[in-house]
Copies of this chain bind each other. A is one copy, B any other.
Amino acid sequence: MAVRVRIEDVAEAAGVSMKTVSRVLNREPNVREDTRVRVQTAVDALNYKPHPSARSLAGHKSYLIALLYDNPSPNYLMEVIAGVLAACETQQYNMMMCPLDFGSPTFMNAVESMIAHSQPDGLILTPPITDAPALLKRLAELELAYASISPRRQKQCMGVAIDETRAAFDMVQHLVSLGHRRIGHIKGHPAHGASDWRLAGYREGLDKAGIKFDSSLVVDGEFSFESGVIGAEQLLGLRQRPTAIFAANDDMAAGVIGVALRLGLRVPEDLSVCGFDNTPMSLQIYPPLTTVHQPSRDMGRIAALELLAAIHKREVGKMLHIPYTLKLRQSTGKLATPS
């Protein structure tokens, strides 16, 4: 590789001092428009790229944001990552990945060590790490900025979320509109706020339709395919079994469909099934799954943009809510025989 172009070279080419080039590059105020143009021209002509480490060292910033996650769905995380990277690119920032074990006793040690070593300028938290009290407390102490994606307690932090309760509510309304009255629900993992919100939306949906809540129709799950299988076995083993099952995510819904087929039930003629998340898999099973689409990539991008803005302006952002979409597919329908 040819020798590196340095800020000094650009300064000479533009006939200004290094510091002025630095100002232009960092969009600092108090630079005359014509010198700004002159510098920018020199930068482009020389194809100058500032040295990240030098910037970081001199500027007392790492130009790094860390993405904290704990074993989420790869599909979900990859979408979030794509969004965060897109946001970082526009602002000369980098993203580092931080896989963590939320439940582990060394969780906070791992976080401390990561922070001490990498010195990120900010963090992006994904569920369920959004809701680790010890972590949030420590970040406040360190005055380290963070943005949360779908945190449980949304009032007190910056970040982005969708109205999951409303989405679940809409989904139940969809089932009701198809004629279903006995609607089962498989809950999500108790550590995730999403589980509560989706259950709440389920209950509100029943209320709205004037259907009495029946606790035997709600079973525990933990977002995994296997827990969906177990939940489905419980629900479909009931004397009066539900005609529709709303699983709190797609993986569990896939488990439900598997059990239904195994039991000789047709989907959706004998049983309607719906999930939440719109994973790629939801289109790859038979029948394609009715679900809720959460714009994860946008959420990653927006969370990162908020975080970067907060880092620059040193002010707190707000929790942003963005729209979701119901994906109505073939796994839900009217009953073949009127119940």
Contact = CB atoms under 8 A, between A and B. Distances in A.
A99 B82 contact: yes
A2 to B, nearest CB: 10
Nearest to A254: B284
A124 interface: no
Interface size class on chain A is 35 or more
A65 interface: no
Given A257-B286, A284-B281, A285-B254, A95 B97 contact: yes
A336 interface: no
Interface in A295-310: none
Contact of A1 (B49, B142, B285): B142
A311 to B, nearest CB: 15
Contacts of A53: 52-54, 56-57, 62
B281 A49 contact: no
Contacts of A142: 1
Contact of A284 (B49, B57, B74, B251): B251
A1 B138 CA distance: 10
A117 B49 contact: yes
A5 B79 CA distance: 37
Contacts of A254: 284-285
A266 to B, nearest CB: 10
A77 interface: yes
Nearest to A228: B284
Contacts of A62: 52-53
A141 to B, nearest CB: 9
Interface string A239-261: 00000000000010011011001
A116 interface: yes
Interface string A48-87: 0101111011000010000000000011011101100100
A22 to B, nearest CB: 16
In the A-B complex, the 3 residue pairs with the closest CB atoms: A258-B286, A74-B78, A53-B56
28 contacts: A1-B142, A1-B143, A49-B116, A49-B117, A52-B53, A52-B62, A52-B117, A53-B54, A53-B57, A53-B62, A54-B57, A74-B75, A74-B79, A74-B280, A75-B75, A77-B78, A85-B97, A94-B118, A97-B97, A225-B280, A225-B283, A251-B284, A254-B285, A255-B284, A258-B285, A261-B261, A262-B286, A281-B284
